[in-house]
C-alpha cells in the first residue's frame, strides 16, 4: 500500500503542494471515484488511478535505452552541460541514473534506470559484463597490436601490491574502414576503467579519433534511434541484463 500523493509524485505529476491542489480540484480518481484526500492509501499494483483522464500505470522500475550524442554528460545533474536526463523529454526522470558513464565526447548506447540492484550488478567488477565499442583510429592497426589488446596491455594502472595492473583480456575484431579511410575496430571489454579504450589504444601506439558504444551485455544499440533519441527497453532486453 502507498499514499496517493507519494504514488502521484513518483509518477512525476508534480510537487506535494501541486498534488494536493489537484486532488482538491477533483482531477484525480481512484477506481472511478474522485479522490478526496491526498494521503489516502492505495494498492498501487491493483487500484486504477486516473489523473486528468489519463490512467497512471504502476511500474516498480523503469528502463531506457538512449543513443547518447557527443557533448552530453552522463550524469543526473550538471551546472554547465546538457545531461542525459535532459534528453528524456516528457518522461518522469525522478530516480533515474545512467548505468556507468560515457565520456562527454563518446557516443552510443547508454542504459538508464531506477533499478539500483541492476545498476550494481552490471557495474560490479566481479560480473565482467561485456561492453562493445566501435573505435575509429588515427593510424592503421596491425594484427600484432590487435593481439596485444586481446591479451591485455599496460595502461599505467598500479595494483595495491605495487605491480602493474594489466587490462583484462579483450575481444577485438577489425571492421570496414570509415568514410574518411580510417581503420575501425570493434573492441569488447569486460571491465570499466577510466578512459580505458583510449588508454589501451595509446598503449599500442595509436589514438582514438571516434568512439561509440554499440552493446552492453546482450543489449545492442537500436539502429533506429538517432543521436539523442531513446526508447523503453523490451522485456527480453531487461531479462537479458538481469541474467548477465
Predicted TM-score (pTM) of the model is: 0.84
Tell me the per-residue pLDDT of 116-172, one tens digit each, with 9 for 90 and over. Answer: 999 999 999 888 899 999 999 999 999 999 999 999 999 999 999 999 999 999 999
- CA dist 239 and 243 (Å) reads 6
State residue 78's pLDDT score.
Answer: 87
CA 23 to the chain's CA centroid: 35
- Report angle CA 212, 218, 222 to the nearest 5 degrees: 50
pLDDT of residue 242: 93
Instruction: Tell me whether domains 60-124+228-244 and 130-216 share a fold.
Output: yes
Classified by CATH at the fold level, domain 130-216 comes out as Alpha-Beta Plaits (3.30.70)
The hierarchical CATH code for the domain 2-56 is: 3.10.290.10
For 229, the grid coordinates are 533519441
188 vs 196: CA distance, rounded Å: 11
Tell me if 28 sits within 8 A of 50, measured CB to CB: yes
- What digits encode the pLDDT tens for the residues 72-130? 999 998 888 999 999 998 888 989 999 999 999 999 999 999 999 999 999 998 888 99
Could you give the CA distance from residue 234 to residue 63 in angstroms, rounded to a whole number? 9
Q: The cell 554547465 sits on which residue? A: 80
Residue 101 three-state SS: coil
CA distance 202 to 220: 27
When pLDDT is averaged across residues 231-236 and rounded to a whole number, the result is: 94
How many Å apart are CA 150 and CA 171, to the nearest integer? 5
Strands 219-220 and 230-232: unpaired
Whether the CB-CB separation of 32 and 47 falls below 8 Å is answered with: no
**Average pLDDT value for the chain:** 94
Could you say which DSSP state residue 85 is in?
G
Residue-wise pLDDT for 34-75, tens only, equals 999 999 999 998 999 999 999 998 888 999 999 999 999 999
Quote the cell numbers at residue 84.
542525459
**CATH 3.30.70.580 at 60-124+228-244, yes or no:** yes
Active site residues: 103
Q: Which range, of 7-21, 98-112, 197-211, averages the lowest pLDDT?
A: 7-21
User: In which band, very low, low, confident or very high, does the pLDDT at 180 lie, cut at 50, 70 and 90?
Assistant: very high
Split at pLDDT 50, 70, 90, the class of 244 is confident
Q: Under a CB-based contact definition with an 8 Å cutoff, are residues 72 and 83 in contact?
A: yes
Residue 116, C-alpha cell as written in the block: 539500483
Cell numbers representing residue 168 in the block = 583484462
The three grid cell numbers given for residue 85, joined into one nine-digit string: 536526463
Q: Which grid coordinates are listed for 197?
A: 579504450
Pick the closest to residue 58 from 110, 115, 10, 130 (CA basis): 10
Going from N- to C-terminal start, the domains of the chain cover 2-56, 60-124+228-244, 130-216
> What's the rounded Cα separation, in Å, for the pair 62 and 53?
22
All residues at 6 or more sequence positions from 86 whose CB lies less than 8 Å from its CB, including other chains: 72
- Long-range contact list for 149-152, CB < 8 A, 24+ apart? 149/187, 149/200, 149/201, 149/204
Mean pLDDT over residues 176-187, rounded? Answer: 96
Amino acid at each position: 500500500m502507498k499514499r496517493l500523493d507519494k504514488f502521484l509524485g513518483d509518477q512525476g505529476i508534480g510537487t506535494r503542494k501541486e498534488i494536493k491542489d489537484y486532488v482538491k480540484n477533483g482531477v484525480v480518481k481512484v477506481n472511478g471515484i474522485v479522490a478526496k484526500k491526498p494521503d489516502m492509501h492505495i494498492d498501487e499494483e491493483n487500484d486504477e488511478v486516473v489523473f486528468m483522464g489519463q490512467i497512471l500505470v504502476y511500474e516498480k522500475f523503469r528502463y531506457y535505452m538512449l543513443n547518447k550524442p557527443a557533448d552530453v554528460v552522463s550524469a543526473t545533474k550538471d551546472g554547465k552541460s546538457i545531461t542525459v536526463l535532459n534528453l528524456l523529454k516528457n518522461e518522469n526522470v525522478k530516480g533515474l541514473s545512467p548505468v556507468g558513464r560515457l565520456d562527454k565526447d563518446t557516443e552510443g548506447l547508454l542504459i538508464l534506470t531506477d533499478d539500483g540492484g541492476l545498476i550494481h550488478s552490471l557495474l560490479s567488477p566481479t560480473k565482467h559484463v561485456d561492453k562493445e565499442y566501435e573505435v575509429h583510429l588515427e593510424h592503421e592497426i596491425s594484427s600484432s597490436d590487435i593481439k596485444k589488446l586481446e591479451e591485455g596491455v599496460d595502461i599505467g594502472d598500479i595494483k595495491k601490491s605495487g605491480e602493474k595492473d594489466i587490462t583484462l583480456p579483450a575481444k577485438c575484431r577489425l571492421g570496414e574502414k570509415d568514410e574518411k579511410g580510417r581503420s575501425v575496430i570493434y573492441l569488447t571489454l569486460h571491465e570499466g576503467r577510466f578512459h580505458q579504450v583510449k588508454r589501451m589504444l595509446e598503449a599500442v601506439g595509436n589514438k582514438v579519433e571516434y568512439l561509440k558504444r554499440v552493446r552492453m551485455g546482450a543489449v545492442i544499440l537500436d539502429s533506429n534511434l538517432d543521436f539523442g533519441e531513446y526508447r523503453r527497453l523490451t522485456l527480453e532486453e531487461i531479462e537479458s541484463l538481469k541474467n548477465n
